[in-house]
Chain A
Amino acid sequence: MNTNHTTQFTIDDLRRIMRESAGQDEAVDLEGDILDTHFQELGYDSLALLETTSRIAREYGIAIADEDLDGAESPGALLQLVNQALTRV
């Protein structure tokens, strides 16, 4: 578990955890420019997102409130949310 306050959570970190949490739809290229793509379009439903954010929270030692998650509908928005939480650690 990494609780170092200088940690940055990057799109590649997110890609890795997304794959661990819910694999990858055959029709989706996670390596492409996905920052502003809706999670639904990437094949990630609410349960897959719950698993993804739960793994991020565990690995980085942060807490993300459920109500904040509701607004994070794309990888870019989730990145921002995680990095905000990391600055609070």
Chain B
Amino acid sequence: MSAAPVVTGIGVAAPNGLGTEEYWQATLEGRGGIAPISRFDPSGYPVRLAGEVPGFDAAAYIPSRLLPQTDHMTRLALYAADAAMRDSGADTAQLPEYGAGVSSASSMGGFEFGQRELQNLWSKGGRFVSAYQSFAWFYAVNTGQISIRHGLRGPGSALVTDQAGGLDAVGNARRQIRKGTALMLAGGVDGALCPLGLAGQLSSGRLSTEERPDHAYLPFATEARGHVPGEGGAYLVLEDRDSARRRGARVYGEIAGYAATFDPAQETPGADGLAHAIRRALREAGTDPQQVDAVFADAAGVPELDRTEAQAVTAVFGARAVPVTAPKSLTGRLYAGGAALDLAAALLSIRDGVLPHTANVAAPAPGLGIDLVVGSPRTVTVDCALVLARGHGGFNAAAVVRRAH
């Protein structure tokens, strides 16, 4: 088995910052991106808040060729993927034709585009439907558009596991690199802040109807009342360690371990599936629980789900034995983009020796038994971090990122 792949590039499009450093600064300063929905009039819906990516001028970042054929969330994905490639400094033209690929997670697809074209179909007729509707709404579209734009002709895939997808896509990329692919662009961007998309998300029953932005998404708090939906996410460039080293690439860390499990059918998810994923990911990384410096939590923001996540963490690590944090309290849940963004945050924590706090949460609910980072960032050396994600319907994923030596 070859060494764990390394991360050499990060690209972020988040509700509290467009660009990696913008996101990271905002996160450490506790500046959030949750605000009243601006992209459509949500007054007919019980949910009025969302995390929208600020200042995204698509024409400034996306070639005009791609604008007529892309949904807003695909443009965000193209931005993040391109930013990750630039950050890595990798030149895919130097690789064999099939030496680089792309692995994306997605949960919804281009709903805003799709809604517009469905409205054209039913109000005006089939002749008024865009030819690009053939793919622009589709959940796999980001993988295809990124692959074409960057000439990534190697393995391509699109994983649909809700919030777990951000880790599953990177886990899949890791597997492809171990099988011989030199470079993988991996991550996820989601976003469906349109009437059709919001209606779909409401069906989960897990969205917060609170209207105060700093009270709406309070994971692990006694007052937790669901999550705020968001848009955006992150892409990472994963490379084979030796080829990254040969070209003198800057390395953020390695994807040391990854595992996914699936919950059995039951009324409420238990903690066993997630705990099992954590143990397997740690085993794959060759890491003892004592060596893990931080846990980036899935942070559902629903009391019962927060409790089962805390149970899984304490079952593996013990009570209050490891710092747990959820910087996503500033962005809302980004579905397939959420865990990819948490991976970026974990790698930046390793780089900067600081753990972002779970903003807006004063203290974890009594009895959870976790050491939740609240109030302000915690200065601490982070050599190894665990990132957790759960997808609606029983998906669990865990990834271990570690400082590369």
Contacts and interface: CB of A to CB of B under 8 A. Distances in A.
A40 to B, nearest CB: 13
B129 to A, nearest CB: 8
A20 interface: yes
Contacts of B128: 58
Nearest to B125: A58
A43 B65 contact: yes
B127 A23 contact: no
Interface stretch (A8-16, A49-57, A68-76): A49-57
A26 B68 contact: no
Contacts of A23: 63-68
B394 to A, nearest CB: 37
Contact of A20 (B65, B68, B132): B68
B68 A47 contact: no
A19 B63 CA distance: 12
A23 B62 CA distance: 11
Interface in B234-282: none
B196 interface: no
Determine chain B's interface SS by DSSP, over half rule: helix
B131 interface: yes
A27 to B, nearest CB: 10
B68 A24 contact: no
Interface string B106-143: 00000000000000000000011011101000000000
A51 B66 contact: no
B201 interface: no
Interface in B126-178: 127-128, 130-132, 134
Nearest to A25: B65
Contacts of A19: 64
B134 A22 contact: no
Interface in A20-36: 20-26
A58 B63 CA distance: 26
B285 to A, nearest CB: 43
B132 A24 contact: no
Given A47-B134, A51-B132, A22 B127 contact: no
A25 B131 CA distance: 19
Contacts, number: 34
B316 to A, nearest CB: 50
Chain A contact-residue range equals 10 to 19
B160 to A, nearest CB: 24
A22 B65 contact: yes
Residue of B64, B69, B127, B131 contacting most chain A CB atoms (<10 Å): B131
Nearest to B126: A54
Given A47-B132, A58-B127, A58-B128, A22 B69 contact: yes
Contacts of B130: 51
A20 B127 CA distance: 16
B69 A26 contact: no
Contacts of B63: 23, 25-26
Nearest to A20: B68
A50 B89 CA distance: 37
A51 B282 CA distance: 50
Nearest to B67: A23
Given A47-B132, A51-B132, A24 B127 contact: no
Contacts of B134: 47
Contact of B127 (A26, A47, A57): A57
A48 B132 CA distance: 8
Contacts of B69: 22, 47, 51
A51 B131 contact: yes
B64 A24 contact: yes
A64 B131 CA distance: 15
A5 B68 CA distance: 30
Nearest to A63: B127
Given A47-B69, A58-B128, 19 more contacts: A19-B64, A20-B68, A22-B65, A22-B69, A23-B63, A23-B66, A23-B67, A24-B64, A24-B65, A25-B63, A25-B65, A43-B65, A47-B131, A47-B132, A48-B131, A51-B68, A51-B131, A51-B132, A58-B127
22 contacts: A20-B68, A22-B68, A22-B69, A23-B63, A23-B67, A25-B63, A25-B65, A26-B63, A43-B65, A47-B131, A47-B134, A48-B131, A51-B68, A51-B69, A51-B130, A51-B131, A51-B132, A54-B127, A54-B131, A57-B127, A58-B127, A58-B128
Interface of B: 63-69, 127-128, 130-132, 134
Interface of A: 19-26, 43, 47-48, 50-51, 54, 57-58
